[in-house]
Chain A
């Protein structure tokens, strides 16, 4: 491969956008060509500069605590890509499946779930920023403690609200499943009962753990995830 060719692909190579075997050819050329190698080194140096800038900006841009508070109280509630990316795979499928459903009951459930999901996301966000805030305020005074307690109180209320929303959704979906039960294969019904029993055990265990440590947001998320799994299972049966 010639230098001119390599130069046109250098940025893509640096960005990891070159496909094989092209990437390997460019790598081989760079190993043997000091001039092209030095061009790549320039790109790498720039990249480090930008990385440092991005890191600096990111850390300086910690949203003020009341941004999430305000959003929590607004009809829009907060979502965050990171939080969503970490959610169990498949939730978008059942959520999207819920929304266009024709039955009024399912639409009502969908609305309730939206609230529950958004609360869950808000909790993840809240906890993320709360943890960051604690880290940055460790050495500061009691004024921070008051605001901390307030944010914790809000989080606890949100967890309880989310739990209620999940319970209502489960109740509604269970009623739909119950009506459909007679038309289902007895083996499916048996499997459903086993699955439901296992999930219920999981819910009970996580619930017990959470209520023993109500300030632990991670346990709250495990509990809400268990509820979410039950909703998912019931939704699969009703769709």
Chain B
């Protein structure tokens, strides 16, 4: 669900699309290739579901985020040191910056940087070559770096 949320930036719709992803996965279970990793397969379905949703709606999902509700669902006293420093403003900036990326750049950034996947697996999910993934990720990182500059200078997150 987090993967879908990162691609969309909209919680309510992410929930809906998570259900849709699982529904499609169940229907397509028989078509899954022998030896294929289930997580790769599910991420691939999720990505297609999100792409279709974006194409259909053509709206900027990244405008409304979790920051306003996060403190309700995750009490701050339970948060670890890394999470404590993560202010609502910074979360909003990251989410909106993700929203500025192209679909391909956002997908590789979310899978590689936030989900820590290998290029090999990302390539299976997205259908892109590893070369393209690297270029997209490099550009995505540059864009994010630029947008997050004020938070990166002189501040060591959570350490």
Contacts and interface: CB of A to CB of B under 8 A. Distances in A.
A78 interface: yes
B83 A46 contact: no
A52 B39 CA distance: 23
B137 A51 contact: no
A15 B112 contact: yes
Nearest to A58: B2
A92 B34 contact: yes
A57 B98 CA distance: 13
What secondary structure prevails in chain B residues at the interface with A?
helix
What secondary structure prevails in chain A residues at the interface with B?
helix
Contacts of B11: 61
Contacts, number: 146
Given A17-B119, A60-B73, A61-B5, A52 B158 contact: yes
Interface in A56-71: 56-64, 67, 70-71
The bracket for how many chain B residues form the interface is 35 or more
Interface in A84-98: 84-85, 92-93, 95-97
A57 B5 contact: yes
Contacts of B43: 81
B124 to A, nearest CB: 13
A67 B115 CA distance: 23
Given A62-B73, A92-B34, A85 B119 contact: no
A108 interface: no
A67 B157 contact: no
Given A56-B79, A61-B2, A92-B32, A85 B38 contact: yes
B19 A67 contact: yes
A64 B73 CA distance: 10
Contacts of A48: 82, 156-159
A47 to B, nearest CB: 7
B30 to A, nearest CB: 4
Interface in B1-25: 1-2, 5-6, 11, 14-15, 18-19, 22-25
Contacts of A78: 22, 26
Nearest to A12: B134
A114 B85 CA distance: 45
B23 A53 contact: no
Contact of A59 (B25, B26, B74, B134): B74
A99 interface: yes
Contact of A56 (B33, B34, B91, B113): B91
Contacts of B157: 45, 48-49, 52
B86 A61 contact: no
A239 interface: no
A127 to B, nearest CB: 17
Nearest 8 pairs of A and B residues by beta carbon: A76-B23, A81-B39, A84-B38, A52-B82, A60-B70, A99-B30, A54-B114, A76-B26
Interface of B: 1-2, 5-6, 11, 14-15, 18-19, 22-27, 29-30, 32-39, 42-43, 66, 69-70, 73-74, 78-80, 82-83, 85-86, 90-91, 94, 112-115, 118-119, 134, 137-138, 141, 144-145, 148, 151-152, 156-159
